Amino acid sequence: MHRSTSPTTRSTTRTCVLRTKKKLILCLFLWWVSVGCATNPVTGKSELSVISESWELKTGKQQYQPMRQRQGGDYLADPEVQNYVREEGNKLAAVSDRELPYEFHVVNDGTPNAWALPGGKIAIHRGLLTELKSEAELAAVLGHEIVHAAAKHGAKNIQRGVLLQSTVALAGVATRDSDYARYAELGVGLGAALISTKYGRDAERESDLYGMNYMHRAGYDPMGAVELQQTFVNLSKDRKRNKLTELFASHPPSEERVEANRRHAATLPKGGIRGAARYQQVMRRLTETKPAYEAYDEATKAFADADFSEARRLANKALAIEPNEARFHSLLGDIANVDDRLPGAQRHYRNAIRLNDSFFYPHLQSGLVSRDLGELAAAKLSLNRSVELLPTATAYKTLGDIAETEGNLPAAKEYYAAASKDPGTDGQAALTSLIKLEVAAQPGAYIDTAIGLANNGEWIIAVRNNAPRAFTAIELEIAYRATDGSIPRRQLSLPGTLAAQSTRQTRTGLDANTTTNPQVRIRRVALAANA
């Protein structure tokens, strides 16, 4: 029988809902207070502080090298450029409002970009350096990124995510309702998120203004920040300069920012280091070799399009202009590799390593070639060096294959397990290999069984596949006590394929009236052919 709800009941319900909402708000407030507020060392404002400094330092340290590796490694063709940027960065870091273990590296990537990780880990791309005109503009970029780190802008982006998740969780309780990115799946997800997340308008404004303060304190002309933003505005209007898209996505330029910087510069003492002549002197080689990197970019496109002769021509052109660039040798190695000229490929990879031992890619490729040549000891050395620089599923999977070939199954399992964290092709192949080894040693590792009675009194076995792969050729053994006290054993087979994460039943042909205490074990199992 249907009963209508009285006005009193509806009012009581609304009151309860309101009370629940108030309780939720109170819980959020109390949680907010419990985690505490802190004074921002840059702005002096009191802010909610959920992310600890130890988390910032740890995260920045862990993610810094993998992110640089993912984007092409450090630029080492001209060591003076690295030293110069580090020197200028340290000048600005020394006058910042927050003491951190600042580091500055030039990343070997043609995209004009710069980024900062929590804890003061800062990178500027080779491609941005060729767009700048003076030391003052370089100082504007570095000062801007220093503020992002010092003012905890990256940590605050993560913090907002934590707050959102916490809010949703509490509401649920209340209501009950770069060319090398393919190798970077292991352990760099957070770093990628931190540097690709767009900062809010307030964060960009703070980084502009306080970065200009740092410029002044370090002796640079703050007008460099005005000129930098004006350059970016001009470039953003040029549709032909699409390569700046990444920079503009994370640091959007605008006339408003130019004018804000101009107004703030007017409040600071005039003058300071411009450093145009020195900057151009240090960047002379990088500027002169810019055509080499443009040829390399064209070569990588030709390689991707399987136009290997054109890729080789362009790579050799690049190498003729800049013989000290390891990536050009690596590309020639890749071209030789696809032509199945393994000794030639190995020579190019080793030339790349000679020029830049700190980049994972030539070590990885050299290890794969050594594996193909049957030189397993050399392969292991190269692959392990690549993993030190950037853990990849490809390296771990290959090391697992070598360990399995050598009969070192415990090591093979460890390598396969590490590789299996990657959802890509190599990671999933490693997972298959891992499961194969484990079921060979323990057939029932991924399979559960249960036995029960059917309505007709026959014992029925349910077989559950807990693995993410399908199994076939499943053989069972059932032991039971007969009426004469003996313990016979019977072999059974589960026909067909048992799909991943699925359950099937099979009959035993045993009657409960004549058998008791049945026990089941898995005797044998094999991966399905398409697993």
255 and 168, same structural domain?
yes
200 and 163, same structural domain?
yes
266 and 148, same structural domain?
yes
Asked if residue 427 is part of any domain, the answer here is no
Asked if residue 467 is part of any domain, the answer here is yes
Tell me if 396 sits within 8 A of 416, measured CB to CB. Answer: yes
Tell me if 206 sits within 8 A of 40, measured CB to CB. Answer: no
pLDDT (tens digit, 9 = 90+) per residue, 107-129? 999 998 999 999 999 999 999 99
Q: What is the pTM of this model?
A: 0.84
Domain end among 270, 286, 302: 286
Please give the single-letter amino acid code of residue 526.
A
193 and 128, same structural domain?
yes
Question: Which residues on neighbouring strands pair with residue 112, listed in sequence order?
Answer: none
Per the prediction, the chain carries an average pLDDT of: 86
Could you give the C-alpha distances from 474 to 117, 438, 461, 468, 469, in angstroms and in order? 51, 15, 13, 16, 14
Stretch 357-383: mean pLDDT:
98
| Alpha-carbon gap, residue 486 to 480, rounded angstroms | 8
Confidence at residue 236, expressed as pLDDT on a 0 to 100 scale: 73
Query: Is the pLDDT assigned to residue 478 strictly greater than 90?
Result: yes
Three-class secondary structure of residue 23 per DSSP: helix
Asked if residue 70 is part of any domain, the answer here is yes
Asked if residue 68 is part of any domain, the answer here is yes
208 and 59, same structural domain?
yes
324 and 245, same structural domain?
no
158 and 66, same structural domain?
yes
| Alpha-carbon gap, residue 439 to 527, rounded angstroms | 9
pLDDT (tens digit, 9 = 90+) per residue, 276-321? 999 999 999 999 999 999 999 999 999 999 999 999 999 999 999 9
Asked if residue 220 is part of any domain, the answer here is yes
The CATH number for 471's domain is 2.60.40.1620
Asked if residue 439 is part of any domain, the answer here is no
Question: Which residues on neighbouring strands pair with residue 226, listed in sequence order?
Answer: none
Domain end among 263, 286, 309: 286
329 and 252, same structural domain?
no
Stretch 23-37: mean pLDDT:
49
351 and 229, same structural domain?
no
Asked if residue 245 is part of any domain, the answer here is yes
Query: Is the pLDDT assigned to residue 11 strictly greater than 50?
Result: no
Confidence at residue 403, expressed as pLDDT on a 0 to 100 scale: 98
| Alpha-carbon gap, residue 208 to 229, rounded angstroms | 9
Domain end among 347, 382, 417: 382
Looking up tokens 């070192």 gives 408
Asked if residue 7 is part of any domain, the answer here is no
The CATH number for 313's domain is 1.25.40.10
pLDDT band at 12 (very low <50, low <70, confident <90, very high): very low
| Alpha-carbon gap, residue 62 to 298, rounded angstroms | 33
pLDDT (tens digit, 9 = 90+) per residue, 414-472? 999 999 999 889 999 999 999 999 999 999 999 999 999 999 999 999 999 999 999 99
Stretch 157-171: mean pLDDT:
49
| Alpha-carbon gap, residue 221 to 122, rounded angstroms | 22
243 and 130, same structural domain?
yes
DSSP for residue 485 = S
Query: Is the pLDDT assigned to residue 6 strictly greater than 60?
Result: no
314 and 171, same structural domain?
no
User: How many domains in the chain?
Assistant: 3
351 and 261, same structural domain?
no
Confidence at residue 197, expressed as pLDDT on a 0 to 100 scale: 61
Q: Domain of residue 490: give its range.
A: 447-527
Least confident of 96-100, 179-183, 445-449: 179-183
